[in-house]
Amino acid sequence: MGTLTQANAPFGPLLEGLDELRLPTELEIIQNYQYRKTIIDGKRLTKDMKNRIFNAVSSTIISIWERAGIPVTGKHAVNTKLGRKIAAVESTVGKWNAEQHQNKTLVSQMQDSLNIVFDIASCKCYKHLPVKVS
């Protein structure tokens, strides 16, 4: 799979940072993760590099949620959830690249499914809170 750029990212523009005034969606987190990968400049992503990216992204996500006053799961649980989401998305991106951008329906469906808050609340009682952070 080639390096994603702003021009060929299947999930929209890559995000340098996350909006700290609202809870991030899964799509925004994927876009931020992909941006951080592009900074490595196409080098092969080692497990250590991937862990550093996960830690940076998860720290940002946790910080946003804590700023909103919502208790969150532990960092390990956030990294695990992030890893699973990234793996699912990379599988879809791989299919998208393999079919030479012909399966736009698959990408569109994945984008729509990722337009939800990346939920890391420690209690599901926070599930229906507004996305905007005060």
Q: Where are the domains of the chain?
A: 26-122
In the block, tokens 């925004």 appear at 28
Identify the CA nearest to 131 among candidates 38, 55, 65, 57: 65
Predicted local confidence at residue 12, as pLDDT: 74
Sequence-separated (6 or more) residues with CB below 8 Å from residue 87: none
Contact by Cβ (8 Å): 21, 4: no
Predicted local confidence at residue 4, as pLDDT: 47
In the block, tokens 């736009």 appear at 104
Tokens read off for 99 = 């079919």
Distance from chain centroid for Cα 29 = 3
Q: For residue range 114-128, what is the model confidence (pLDDT) as tens digits?
A: 888 999 988 876 555
Predicted local confidence at residue 98, as pLDDT: 58
Predicted local confidence at residue 89, as pLDDT: 83
Of the two residues 11 and 70, the one the predictor is more confident about is: 70
Residue 2 has pLDDT above 80, yes or no: no
Distance from chain centroid for Cα 88 = 11
**How far is the C-alpha of 10 from the C-alpha of 118, rounded, in Å?**
19
Q: For residue range 75-113, what is the model confidence (pLDDT) as tens digits?
A: 999 999 999 998 888 887 766 565 555 566 766 777 788
Q: For residue range 10-58, what is the model confidence (pLDDT) as tens digits?
A: 677 788 899 989 999 999 999 999 888 888 766 677 888 888 888 999 9
